[in-house]
Amino acid sequence: MSEVCQKHVPERTCVACRKKRPQGEFLRFTKDTQGLWQMDSRRGKPARAGRGTYLCADNPACGQEKKLRRTFGAQAEKMALSVAAFHQLNQELESGTAPTGVTG
Ligand SMILES: [Zn+2]
């Protein structure tokens, strides 16, 4: 497993819309040792070995709780909140509007 073909971009499938895209365009979720899902914010970097679950990083619709439920079950609501927070932060960064008058 140490050899990586540089020409090939590993593709992943969004659990919400089933779209295939390069791994770097996804939010990644992994299960911790207690079986709880965690959102891995280090986008694009494979954090550790193990199976991950992927969700479109640029499509807030993919983060809706009802779409996450079949994957995350009882934790769907919590994950939906994490995804929503991620998108909100992204929007603030992209629009350049700081919530509390930061000088810049
Ligand atoms: Zn998606």
Strands (E), the chain: 11-13, 20-22, 26-31, 37-40, 53-56
Averaged over 15-39, what is the pLDDT?
92
Contact in structure between 56 and 83 (CB atoms under 8 Å): no
| 103 located within any domain | no
User: Per the structure, how many domains does the chain have?
Assistant: 1
Q: CA 64 to CA 37: how far, in whole Å?
A: 16
Ligand 1 geometric centre to CA of 100 (Å): 31
A 10 A CB-CB count for 37 gives 20
Give a yes or no: residue 18 inside a domain: yes
For the segment 36-44, the average pLDDT, to the nearest whole number, is 75
Q: If you measure from the C-alpha of residue 28 to the centroid of ligand 1, how many angstroms do you get, rounded to a whole number?
A: 12
Q: Say how far apart CA 14 and CA 38 lie, in whole Å.
A: 16
Residue 52 domain flag? yes
Show the domain range for 87: 11-95
Q: Would you say residue 6 lies in a domain?
A: no
Exposure b/e, 13-32, CB count within 10 A at least 16 = b: ebbbeeeebebebbbbbbee
| pLDDT tens track for 50-90 | 678 999 999 999 999 999 999 999 999 999 999 999 999 98
In a domain, 2, yes or no: no
* Distance between Cα 66 and ligand 1 center (Å): 13
In a domain, 78, yes or no: yes
Spacing, Cα 101 to ligand 1 middle (Å): 33
Q: Specify if 4 maps to a domain.
A: no
Averaged pLDDT score across all residues of the chain: 84
CATH number at residue 83: 3.30.1230.10
Instruction: Give 39 Cα–ligand 1 centroid separation in angstroms.
Output: 15
Structural domain includes residue 87: yes
